[in-house]
């Protein structure tokens, strides 16, 4: 069921009609997710190292600025280039926010 749902998403968003296109788009999405996760964890690690030398208020401001920068990069690189409805864009923005929050939590746990 999950596989058919994934194919439906790719068909709706990308117009993938053949199995070859579906596999290519799946590879692109998975590659983007892996690079995005590596980038988020790296940036969060750097933020956590800087945060150790800063007060609590500046810490919150620094994390917020970093998260907004990450969200703007995600929006510009992944979301705005797609021809999507506003509902799908909103869902993708919330998914990106949850990814960023998860990276912040993981960075806090590992440091």
- Model confidence, pTM: 0.42
DSSP state of 18: S
d(CA 48, CA 87) in angstroms, rounded, equals: 34
Q: Which of the four pLDDT bands, split at 50, 70 and 90, describes residue 1?
A: very low
User: For a pLDDT cut of 90, what percent of the chain falls above it?
Assistant: 0
Q: Which residues of 70-97 are buried (b: 16+ CB within 10 A; e: fewer)?
A: bbeebeeeebeeeeeeeeeeeebeeebe
pLDDT tens digits along 13-51: 555 566 676 677 667 767 777 777 777 777 777 767 766
């Amino acid at each position: 069921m999950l596989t058919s749902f994934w194919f439906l998403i790719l068909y709706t968003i990308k117009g993938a009609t053949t199995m070859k296109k579906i596999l290519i788009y799946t590879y692109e999405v998975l590659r983007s997710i892996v690079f995005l996760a590596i980038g988020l964890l790296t940036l969060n690690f750097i933020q956590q190292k800087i945060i150790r030398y800063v007060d609590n208020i500046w810490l919150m401001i620094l994390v917020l600025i970093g998260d907004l920068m990450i969200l703007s990069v995600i929006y510009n690189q992944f979301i705005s280039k797609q021809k999507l409805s506003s509902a799908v864009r909103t869902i993708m923005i919330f998914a990106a926010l949850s990814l960023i929050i998860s990276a912040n939590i993981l960075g806090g746990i590992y440091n």
